[in-house]
Chains A and B, each alone.
Chain A
Amino acid sequence: MNFQQLLLGIQDYWSRQNCVLQQPYDLEVGAGTMHPDTFFRVLGPEPWRVAFCQPSRRPVDGRFAENPMRVYKHYQFQVILKPAPLEVQQLYLDSLRAFGIDPLEHDIRFEEDNWESPTLGAAGVGWQVVMDGMEISQFTYFQQSGGRELSPISVELTYGIERICMFLNDIKNIFDIPWNANGVTYGDVRRQEEIEHSDYSFNEADVQFFGEQFGRWEGEAQRLLAREREEDGGTLPAPLVVPAYEAVLKCSHLFNVLDARGALSVTERAAHIQRIRRLSCACADAYVAVRNPDPAPAGQEEAAS
């Protein structure tokens, strides 16, 4: 099963589970969790089901396309089910069947692994799913996001699709993954980008420029969150939540590059994480305050029942 067949298979499966088949977010992010359709939608009471493949950038993992496993950017397939249905483990295992994986031919285990994202003020409890000794998924019951205790509880499933594809094809190097049935490989599609982004993140990114940008985008997020409008002679809060959150995502990516460049001391690093976290939490608060009061987005009630 090649890379794009795998992607089609998993999209098809979750689409049949009444998920909104979303597209990747069009900003640099480190993980699917940062997609607003995860970060915001797990807040509040509305049911929600979404699935999408999110290219995720992790500058420190860049290896100039020389490492068989680690890359600057990988594809993370992400599913959010809110509230988490009681049979969610079974739904997940059935999704593996969509890849042609028969659990009786493998050793599949759920091993404790609790997830936390300090910059998003998010934390969850769950497992890494291990198949034949290899971690193939994170399975997380979100407990907190944007610094807020969640209710109902959402479940996040993420699949490392490159790893699964390598394993299914018995391939030792990520760049040898067959992308399609016509002989195009992962390396053909991605190698150049990997080499250049590794070089950029580790050697070329202008530290001073990135530092300034971080401050500017932080200021922009604060400004958008503090926006007010006048009404009846008084002022009311009128934050622009999504643009503010996008400014936070910019900060997050700028931070990741600064980190890869080794430009942050230990204390600076902690301080930057704290600054992003504060903004994320403020965005979550603003979202909850202004979110659409409709009980559920169209077509989602049934999915969650």
Chain B
Amino acid sequence: MSERDPLLIEIGCEEIPARMIPRAATDLAGIVVKILDDQRLEHGSCLSWGGSRRLAVRIESVQGRQPDRDETLLGPPAKVAFDAEGKPTRALQGFAKKQGLNPEDLTPVETDRGLYAGIERRVAGSSLDQLLARDLPAAVASMSFPKIMRWADGRNRWVRPVHWLLALHGARTLELELFGVRSGNRSEGHRFLGSGPVEIEHADQYATVLEQRHVIVDPVERRKRLAESLDASSAALGGSVVRDEGLLDEIADLVEWPGIVSGSFEADFLELPLELLVTTLRHHQKCFSVQDAEGRLMPHFLAVANTDQDPKGHVRRGNEWVIGGRLDDARFFWREDRRRSLEERSAELERVILHRDLGSYAEKATRVGELAVKLAGKLGMSAEEVAHCGTAGRLAKNDLVTGTVGEFPELQGRIGGLMLEAEGAPAMVAKAVFEHYQPVGPEDDVPATPGGAVVALADKLDSVARFISIGRGPTGSGDPFGLRRATSGIFRIALEHKLDLSIRDLCDLAGGEELLLEFLRERLEKYFRELGYTPNEIRSVILVQGGKTSLLIPLTDVSLRLEAVRGVRERADFARLVELTKRIFNIVPKIEEGSRERGGDWRPSPERYEDFEDPEEPGKLLRELIEQSGPVVEQRAESKQYDRVIDSLAEFVAPVASFFDDVLVNDADRPDETHHRGEMLSRLGAILTRYFDIRELAGQADRRA
């Protein structure tokens, strides 16, 4: 029996946290596919589905039974198994009895390890039912979730209690048991609209039957329908929805039968700052805002519901009621906070502890202010701008003690900036405070204004430096103070704002020591790894000159050099350039050694170069080449045209190659010339590896992250 049918497994349970559904659905599919693969059951493609009350997987064209196979069953070694006459010994009889075989049927079989008693036999394949019943329960029970729970007698551990298990192979129900729940051909639809359990007659009908029972099992479809409803509902209100893809992802897994409820709030609330209004709707109620054609917010919201019906208007009324209350709260906090200026809050920061070894936020505010001043000065800002950066740095944390930020922690910085704006502070100061938490993550933008960049960088750098200094840096997978993310933020700000800063500058500005320097260097490597550069490409740039000076290269230059280096392997002359560089670095130490052996008093001097007997001395030609092309390389590097630097370096290939072909470089009979040639090669080597060392790129192509 090996008819091929679709396999469908659905685990029905109590409401799974929305944030865990996508990963869990994928994991379940992975588990089932792995069992099929491990058991050599052929199958087609796989679809994973999930909703609040279910995880499901559907796999096309699954074999119902493993093919039978022939195998050789081996018993004891032949010399133990057979006596002198070739008759089965007691040992073989014992083995045969245990296996239910006739001892006479076993014959000597040649194996890698020698001669054994053995038998060829046909093993019947196991059925899909048997294999899933054996392997699935344990695999599902060991699925990982961000948080699991125990229920009933406390022995079962999973994300939520399991209530039903639907297992179909075509139209046939597979017999399984999971957490004490027996499988069947019944599923359940929507908790309220689905009217109880429903039989699924064939795996093919699963999605359709559930849709009739008000459940969309495909999360992509749910998201699509939600997006359409949002558009339709906002159009009906005469506006358009304020897009928020993150929120859409979140709510698509919160409901099984997505509906959108539109409601209104008092137009008076529109006086609140935009950020506060949108965040209130999003944070507490997962609601979308609506804007008019001019991009102005309208006094409406769109909320998600797990139903498309609202026969008595309760759903709309309830949401309006709650949102009205939330906006009331937000307005209360905002008005209360506005009674005193942001500046007046400075003293209260003393009561907010940053960390027990790092004192209060008041101390941090002072440090960030000072650091922002130093940074702005170093970047060549005007005296007024420097002062603004200092003020912004000093005030940036003051909104932590406002009621609004207490209520909406994700608005930290924003509220401070908005308060300053409302107080009539200079725009640069208000903007810098407003933006100084950015970028919050890899998806977030860096601050748009130069002041914002300075204060954001100062804030993050202070955190990194101070936590490192008290030994609280990241370890392994643990990074309780988010220093890795902060450091990536520092690099992104420096790069996107083209700030002329090196790792050493950052460390010095923050008054950090070796530990900080090492941390930043390591993070820089990781940062570029994440951007897709290979370890060798990164080494070729930051390990130049033995890595000693890499800390001094401005970050923007590191980035530009990496970009140039990335393409270099594709060049036709790449291999020759590498070979040449290697050859130079091989021969120079040998020449130096020879010179040392001949005595140390000889010092080459340019005047004596002309005394060489041979006017065509090849070393002289090398010197001319260096004097001519060296400045071109430098000048191109100066103007940061690193790809053209590589072009210049490539121009050395032909003449230097013929130099090596024509001359016995290390010529014991001509010590002066040899020394001179050595020195020129050494200078050439320095030029070739000054900005990047392409020798690092030779050999096996390494992997991009």
- What is A's interface to B at a CB cutoff of 8 Å? 68-69, 83-84, 86, 89, 103-112, 114, 125, 127, 131-134, 141, 143, 149-153, 167, 170, 172, 265-267
Contact = CB atoms under 8 A, between A and B. Distances in A.
B283 to A, nearest CB: 13
A112 B17 contact: yes
Contact of B318 (A84, A134, A151, A153): A134
Contacts of A149: 154
Interface of B: 14-15, 17-19, 52, 147-155, 161, 163, 191-193, 254-255, 259, 261, 285, 303, 305-307, 309-312, 314-315, 317-319, 321-325, 328, 351-353, 356
Contact of A152 (B19, B152, B317): B152
B192 A103 contact: yes
A152 B153 contact: yes
B152 A150 contact: no
Given A106-B314, A150-B150, A267-B353, 5 more contacts: A86-B161, A86-B163, A111-B15, A112-B18, A151-B150
A132 B285 CA distance: 10
A106 B147 CA distance: 29
Contact of A133 (B14, B153, B322): B322
Contacts of B155: 151
27 contacts: A86-B163, A103-B191, A105-B314, A106-B318, A107-B261, A107-B307, A107-B318, A108-B192, A110-B52, A111-B17, A111-B254, A112-B15, A125-B147, A127-B15, A132-B321, A133-B303, A133-B318, A133-B323, A134-B318, A143-B149, A153-B150, A153-B153, A170-B317, A170-B321, A172-B324, A172-B325, A266-B353
B153 A151 contact: yes
Contacts, number: 108
A256 B127 CA distance: 63
A108 B52 CA distance: 13
A170 B328 CA distance: 17
A200 to B, nearest CB: 22
Contact of B311 (A105, A110, A152): A105
Contact of A84 (B151, B261, B309, B322): B151
B319 A133 contact: yes
A110 B321 contact: no
Contacts of B325: 68-69, 172
Nearest to B301: A133
Given A103-B192, A112-B18, A265-B351, A83 B153 contact: yes
Nearest to A107: B305
Contacts of A114: 147
A153 B151 contact: yes
A132 B319 CA distance: 6
Contact of A153 (B17, B152, B311, B322): B152
A68 B331 CA distance: 14
Interface centre among A105, A108, A143, A151 (most CB of B within 10 A): A105
Contacts of B14: 89, 110
A2 B152 CA distance: 36
Contacts of A84: 151-152
Contacts of B314: 105-106, 132
Contacts of A133: 285, 303, 315, 318-319, 321-323
Contacts of A68: 325, 328
Given A133-B285, A266-B353, A83 B317 contact: no
Given A107-B306, A109-B306, A132-B314, A151 B154 contact: yes
